[in-house]
Amino acid sequence: MTGSLPPEDPRDALIRELSAQVAELTSLVVELREQLDAARRAASRNSGNSSMPPSSDDLPGRKAPGQRKRGGSGKRPGKQPGAPGAHLAWRDDPDDARPLFPAGGCECGRDLADAADLGISGSRQVIEVPLAAAKVVQYDSHAVECACGRVHEAPPPAGAGAAGTVTWGLNARALAVFLMVVHHVPVERCASILESLSGIRPSDGFVHALLDRAARAVRHVNMLVRALVITAGVICADETPIRVGPGPKTRKRYLLVACTNLLTCYFLGDRTLASFDGFVFPDLSGTVVHDRYQNYDAFGGVTHQLCCAHVLRDLEDCAESYPDAIWPGQAADALRALIHAANQARGAGLDAVPGEKTAADLRLFRSAVLVGLQEVRRVPGAKAKQKPGRTLLECLRDREADVLRFLSDLRIPPTSNQAERDLRPAKTQQKVSGRLRSEKAARDRYAVRGYTSTAVKHGRDALTAIRDALAGNPWTPPVPEMT
């Protein structure tokens, strides 16, 4: 006789069922907690702890960056001593001088027109912009016959059309391009401004076509600027998304910039390696200051300086993610001290920062990185999502030379702020005018923008530079002598 198993207790089945539900709910809680942490982290992104622009800090639901405590530099906010300023200077040769005499009568009853002139009691100068109206100038080209029988005709002025036609002059064309490119005025509003200034409204199509004319006028200058950027020893580079093409669902494009304090070169493309390869990067042989985007590391002929402004923002993110940790603040303070030492050494005319000026801060920086690596452990798995700050810490450890290269060569700036400044007009244009309607118009716009930016960096007036280009005599940057 075989033994029979006792009947299963109904409570055992209930326990198994409840255990399975608990395991399922526990897994769901973990998943929802990860989603909540990700949502909180996304909502906490601002210009102080990420690469988001400051204009996004006041969006609904955004947490504005906190005010960083300043060190004991002793500097007051605002303009610093020695920085260039602006003021209205008195001119000894004014364009016009108008005498003013008192009018009316004296309390004694006599007319002030008969009073004795005692001389000037005070002078005041007022800078005024005259209100202009369009002036139609007719150019009559005369033909003359030489004694030898040859006939010569006077050439038309720059900007004039064929005989018997009416065209807008160079000043009006240059102003339209200046408003659209430098001040981001939309085409229709630009035409309205010209109408207000001159009393005659140009067509929107004519104003828009000026972008193409201006881009063709500065084409050869931009080729020279590109060549000068390639041969520069140190450049800054960055990229930003812009909206180009009809409709809101158009594929996002990226505007790339490579620049120095004297040169600006733009390229419209994608954030792909193919676009980077089509820009200046394959031909470079110097140092590129950039963020940690991987495409910059694909070009072996250059040395790298990783942007310390991005590093400091990421360290601020780590400080918020790990509020009890000391290493984020220590690393950030040490890096700021190293940047300050580089600025002081550059101001003293040195080629590199003396080692004794950086030894203490370097020890603090390296020890903070090591402590951070101990506290923020790597999540196992080749494709596992790492904790905040882990990738940054590994970069600071493995690429320290690329982070601190500015200490050994003071020609290299510690940040790519110059590139960010040169890209900022693209974001301003997007906010003012919205989407650029076509890639052709976008390329034309930034061809002119690169030309005017380079001219302004050399101390030239943007409006005058545009007018000279439309007249067929564009301003050209000087070519440095080869050493």
Contacts of 372 (CB under 8 A, 6+ apart): 318, 325, 327, 328, 331, 389, 393
Which of 187, 261, 242, 192 shows the shortest CA–CA distance to 418? 261
pLDDT at 1 > cutoff 60: no
181: which 2 tokens?
Answer: 């490119």
Contact predicate 284/299, CB 8 Å: yes
Q: What is the mean pLDDT of the chain?
A: 88
Spatial separation of the C-alpha atoms in residues 74 and 146, rounded to whole Å: 78
Segment 25-34 shows an average pLDDT of 88
Contact predicate 257/265, CB 8 Å: yes
- pLDDT tens-place string over residues 127-179: 887 777 778 889 899 999 898 999 999 988 887 888 888 888 899 999 999 99
- pLDDT at 31 (0 to 100): 86
SS3 (DSSP) at 269: strand
- pLDDT tens-place string over residues 174-217: 999 999 999 999 999 999 999 988 888 999 999 999 999 999 99
Spatial separation of the C-alpha atoms in residues 60 and 38, rounded to whole Å: 18
303: which 2 tokens?
Answer: 């040395």
DSSP H or E segment with residue 413: none
Pairing of strands 287-290, 303-306: parallel
Spatial separation of the C-alpha atoms in residues 465 and 164, rounded to whole Å: 29
The residue to which tokens 């003396």 are assigned: 354
Spatial separation of the C-alpha atoms in residues 460 and 471, rounded to whole Å: 16
Spatial separation of the C-alpha atoms in residues 186 and 101, rounded to whole Å: 47
Contact predicate 416/307, CB 8 Å: yes
pTM: 0.80
- pLDDT at 250 (0 to 100): 58
- pLDDT at 367 (0 to 100): 97
The residue to which tokens 């369009």 are assigned: 134
- pLDDT tens-place string over residues 218-276: 999 999 999 999 999 999 999 999 988 776 655 688 999 999 999 999 999 998 999 99
- pLDDT at 341 (0 to 100): 96
Contact predicate 264/453, CB 8 Å: yes
Spatial separation of the C-alpha atoms in residues 336 and 344, rounded to whole Å: 12
pLDDT at 482 > cutoff 60: yes
Spatial separation of the C-alpha atoms in residues 62 and 77, rounded to whole Å: 26
Which of 342, 362, 343, 364 shows the shortest CA–CA distance to 353? 342
Four-point Cα dihedral 292, 298, 300, 301, nearest 10: -80
Spatial separation of the C-alpha atoms in residues 279 and 170, rounded to whole Å: 32
**How many CA atoms are closer than 13 Å to the CA of 363, on its beta-carbon side?**
5
Segment 294-308 shows an average pLDDT of 93
Supply φ then ψ for residue 239, to 5 degrees: -150, 155
Spatial separation of the C-alpha atoms in residues 3 and 20, rounded to whole Å: 31
